[in-house]
Structure 1
Amino acid sequence: MAEYTGPEICAKPARDVVEMLRRKEVSPKELLDASYERMDQVGDAVNATVTQCRERAYAQIDAIKDTDPSAPGWLGGLPIGIKDLNEVSGVKTTMGSWGMRDYISPNSSPLMKIMESRGAITTGKTNTPEFGAGGNTFNDVFGYTRNPWDTRKNAGGSSGGAAASLAVGETWLSHGSDLAGSCRTPAGYCGVVGLRPTPGRAGGGPGPAGFLNEGISGPLARDVEDCALFLDNMTGFDPRIPLSLHAPEVSFQDALKQEKKNIRIAFSEDQGGFAPVEREVRDILSGAMQIAQKSGMTVEEDCPEMPALYDSYVALRGMHYGAVNNFVPDEVKKHFKATLQENIDVGVQQTSHDIYLAQRGRTEVYQQMRVFLNDFDVLAIPVVGLEPGPVEQEWPPVVDGMEMPDYVDWLRFSFLATTAALPALAMPAGFTKSGMPIGIQLIGPPKGDALVLQVGLALERALNLPKTPIDPNVTHV
């Protein structure tokens, strides 16, 4: 078990701290004091929360009395982190881009307003690659976010700052977003939990292109029950958010109290050969599934064939970059890193026929998964095919002997949930011999967010892996 020497309150589950707030056993001020104390202790080592808003956070305390403590997602003054792709009023929002290094948001985004109206207090912004483009979190404004388990290595991306901040106990919950596994990869690499929910479940697409459902927000937490709490905080219909869905009749926290029986998991080490996976990762995931079987779950090796998946995802991703990042002002765009500009170029250069095929292809993939999951609760696949690499490496050049042509190909396991608009939970599955976390991904049926969380909780209990924060293992010079 890794050591943790931070404030004791920071190691408690978010749901327990919220109950303490409800009973007035702790105050929001005491929590903010503890959160910022922890940032002072470990901030230089991991570089996770890159912009703090202390004055604004303490000023938010007065607004907590106007929130509804009976709401399922009420946080009661719990400090949280916000990914630096999202606007929070009066706080610097850089998007990880040099051209926006001094931009201060005049207004909060609708989702941020929803979360704060339910008692969340924003401590600051967590690091992200430039405009979220990358599976490794670094940028020219704030530099690298480092993996708490070994600071020579990367924390994943693009919600790397969010995941790292949770792993070291800077906050109890941290907001993320996901297009190509941006909630899931960092969760897997930092040993926490990240959910890509059903589009609309936690807000919608990017503000200026709000009908796009590929890049969406999601919760990160240190365990499944806290993830459900945070999802309840985020969810609900808001007319300002075109894709937003009404909150379910049964909250996600209450759904977890209804223990799922007769769990059926389809498992594939490599998603039917869709992507390469290192031997050690295969062994860890297979071992996790053996433990699941011993605990009473049914696990079968199976995966549907989805020939349209790769091309459909690439075209949809291009459409996202063409509709969002291509419209960034030229004075910002001129600073873009090469890989971000390449993504935009792919998006604007694809043909209308490519986009039409992608819409047909994603429907085909959706129907294939819908039918397949009639016989299973979830499909379990890797989050990524290898353990974290050096922080200086933008993406791994080789996975299991196969060359990776660009930084998206090594993230292939993220494609399915995004393309078919299915919920997907990334959660810890074990550790490599070198001590690095490895995650497993559970993909559920349409609108099956509660089911994915229920299966995730059962698996979490069966695996019984550590869930408390750690002190950074500082190995870099």
Structure 2
Amino acid sequence: MTGLCDLSATEQAALIRDGKLSARELLAESLARIEATNTDVNAVVTLDAEGAERAAAAADEAFAAGRLLGPLHGLTLGVKDLHATAGLRTTYGSPVLANNVPDADELLVERERAAGAIIVGKTNTPEFGAGSHTFNRVFGVTRNPYALDRSAGGSSGGSAAALTCGMVSLADGSDMGGSLRNPASFCNVVGHRPSPGRVPTWPVQDPWFTLASQGPMGRTVADAALLLSVQAGPDPRAVMSLADPGSIFTAPLPTRLDGMRIALSPDLGGAVVVDPEVGAAVEAQEATLTKLGANVVHDCLDFTGAREVFTTLRTLNYVLMFGELVDRAPDMVKQTIRTNVEQGRALTGPEVAHASALRGALYNRALAFFGEYDALVLPACQALPFDADLEYPTSVAGVEMPDYLGWMQAAIQVSVTECPATAVPVAFSEEGLPIGVQVVAPHRQDFRALGIAHAIEQVTHAGDRRPGLVTS
């Protein structure tokens, strides 16, 4: 069983189905890997070994009786600490909720548990998921397994780092401005930001808010698709949920892209500043895609107005989500959240209307763009993993960033389009830091984004490289 934790989730699942691996055996390996690596990385912040052992025993008993509990039977799972788990502490990275223990699972967790996943514990996140570097005053900083002095990204940084180290088979996350894609790029794993409504969210304060999306992370694209097959599917309580069943993501992923027309841009058509090594890694995907049979064109969707739209809608949402808390206990909420609430409260009706108009224009440009191209390949993150002691990088490629969202624009601007995007590893920097690209597909074409990312993965094999923390 040496290296069992480093197998893909789909490989682990096959061993379980064939009776060659039990849920308890896999859990024991997972807990041993957590013990060996988590002190350095700080990815799993609330461990539930006893609960996981009970669940694994129940899974093995079901298997002995001739039943599989579901597609995730016996696989270990890390749940982001923004997702409510019944009977298991859920802090949202906030001192205000440091001892919060929910009475019920939220819908995402409910589906994962029902599919047979063994929830090992909660993975670290920045306070209320704000920002793309994982640190908070409750648990501290999550560090990059490839370089412990660097950031693991965020806000799903704990999930990404746990996967990289083999602490869990699968992990979930969420993404408003890159929180599934940035940490995937930083930690050499896969993160898929689903189309709005693909993974229904319940309960939620604003059912119509579509900038945020919950989704899967895995060590491979097939792993992410497996988890998405469980997370996705309609729910009558979620007004935006799509009708397609999650089972559509169990179809075989393509290994060729013959006849596809794919646009590629290292800097979003000049809209963002990108680290030169990141840009070079994106450019190198022209050869990868061509080898796979695609017709590659250097082109990009016009993202004009995307930053303004994101800032306006996000700060407006922050008023709803955190305004009361900021008023009641401002010292218990980090400055960036307080600032966003202030900005949201200062918005005028005409400013919100203007943002809506810009968003509509961008949506229509995306429809036209994807009438010409099957997908768009971009950097998953503009920067390389940065110093973990910083709150955020203040410059990229020598260019000063205007604020803490400046270095995240490659992901943020895609979020505004509502297009699905899959982040997949493709390369390493000269220092040995991971670099990923994001495959952006047309509206609601999640399987296409995953499929193209899977094909890229089969050529680059970048995701096969595990950190020295695990292999040494």
Shorter chain as denominator, the TM-score bin is: over 0.9
Are 1:423 and 1:445, in contact at CA under 8 Å, matched by a contact in 2? yes
After superposition, the Cα gap between the structure-2 partners of 1:54 and 1:117, relative to the gap in structure 1 and judged at 3 Å, is: same
SS of the residue corresponding to residue 80 of structure 1 reads strand
What residue in structure 2 maps to residue 154 of structure 1? Answer: 151
2:254·2:455 contact (CA, 8 Å) conserved in 1? no
Q: CA deviation at 1:145?
A: 0.3
Distance 1:255 1:450, change over 3 A: farther
Which stretch shows the higher mean deviation, 317-326 or 144-153? 317-326
1:38 corresponding residue in structure 2:
33
Which one of the candidate residues 6, 9, 23 is aligned to 1:11? Answer: 6
Equivalent residue number for residue 122 of structure 1: 119
What one-letter code is carried by the residue in structure 2 that aligns with 1:32? Answer: L
Change (3 A) 1:389 1:236: same
Alignment of 1:29-428 (within 5 A): 29-61=24-56, 64=59, 65=62, 74-204=71-201, 207-248=204-245, 251-256=248-253, 260-328=257-325, 333-428=330-425
Give the distance between the partners of 1:182 and 1:407, measured in 2 at CA: 14
Offset, 1:429: 1.7
TM-aligned CA deviation for residue 206 of structure 1: 6.7
Would the alpha carbon gap of residues 229 and 259 (structure 1) be closer, same or farther in structure 2, given more than 3 Å must change? Answer: farther
Residue 198 of structure 1 and its aligned partner are, at CA, apart by 0.6
Shift of 1:30: 1.2
Q: Select 2:431's aligned residue among 426, 431, 434.
A: 434
The answer to whether the Cα contact below 8 Å between 2:190 and 2:220 also exists between their aligned partners in 1 is: yes
Once the two structures are superposed, residues 24-77 of structure 1 have per-residue CA deviations (whole angstroms, 9 ceiling, x without a partner) of: 221111111111110000011100011111122222236544999789x71112
Relative distance call for 1:316 and 1:70 in structure 2 (3 A) is: farther
TM-score scaled by length of structure 1 = 0.93
TM-aligned CA distance change 1:431 to 1:257, over 3 Å: closer
Instruction: Compute the displacement of 1:250 (Å).
Output: 5.8
1:418–1:151: structure 2 CA closer, same or farther, 3 Å change rule?
same
1:9 corresponds to which letter in structure 2?
L
Aligned equivalents of 1:141, 1:249: Cα separation in 2: 35
Write the distance in 2 (CA, Å) between the matches of 1:145 and 1:361. Answer: 36
Q: What number of residue pairs does the alignment pair up?
A: 468
Q: What is the CA–CA distance in structure 2 between the aligned matches of 1:473 and 1:77, rounded to whole Å?
A: 22
Q: Name the aligned partner's letter for residue 439 of structure 1.
A: G
For each residue in 1:320-339, what CA deviation from the matched residue of structure 2 results, as whole angstroms up to 9, or x when unmatched?
21221224475555311111
Amino acid at match of 2:459: A
Cα deviation, residue 215, structure 1: 1.5
CA contact (8 A) 1:99 1:331 kept: no
The structural deviation recorded for 1:305 is 2.1
Q: Spell out, residue by residue over 1:125-145, the C-alpha distance to the aligned partner (whole angstroms, 9 max, x if none).
A: 000000001111001111110
* Contact persistence 1:110–1:240 (CA under 8 A): no
In structure 2, what is the Cα distance between the partners aligned to 1:294 and 1:471? 31
Give the Cα separation in 2 of the matches to 1:291 and 1:433. Answer: 20
Structure possessing the higher relative contact order (Cα contacts under 8 Å, 6 or more residues apart): 1
Code of the residue aligned with 1:16 in structure 2: it is: E
Amino acid at match of 1:91: L
The CA distance in 2 between the partners of 1:469 and 1:330, in whole Å, is 45
1:205, distance to aligned residue in structure 2 (A)? 7.2
Q: Specify the SS of the correspondent of 1:299.
A: strand
Query: What TM-score comes out, normalization by structure 2 length?
Result: 0.94
Aligned amino acid, residue 54 of structure 1: A
- Aligned-CA RMSD value: 2.3
**What residue in structure 1 maps to residue 22 of structure 2?**
27
Which shows bigger deviation, 360-369 or 255-264? 255-264
User: Secondary structure of the residue that 2:263 maps to in structure 1?
Assistant: strand
Secondary structure (helix, strand or coil) at the match of 1:114 reads helix
Moved more, 150-159 or 58-67: 58-67
Out of 256-265 and 24-33, give the one that drifted further.
256-265
Which segment is superposed worse, 76-85 or 341-350? Answer: 341-350
- CA distance in structure 2 between the aligned counterparts of 1:258 and 1:74, rounded to whole angstroms: 23
Separation (CA, whole Å) in 2 of partners of 1:431 and 1:315: 35
Distance 1:68 1:176, change over 3 A: farther
**Unaligned ranges ≥5, structure 1:** 1-5
Q: Secondary structure at the match of 2:377?
A: strand
**Which residue number corresponds to residue 3 of structure 1?**
none
Shift of 1:290: 2.1
Q: Secondary structure of the residue that 2:469 maps to in structure 1? A: coil
Q: Which moved more, 1:106-115 or 1:196-205?
A: 196-205
CA separation of 1:439 and 1:466: change in aligned 2, threshold 3 A: closer
**How much does 1:207 deviate?**
1.9
Query: Secondary structure in 2 aligned to 1:209?
Result: coil
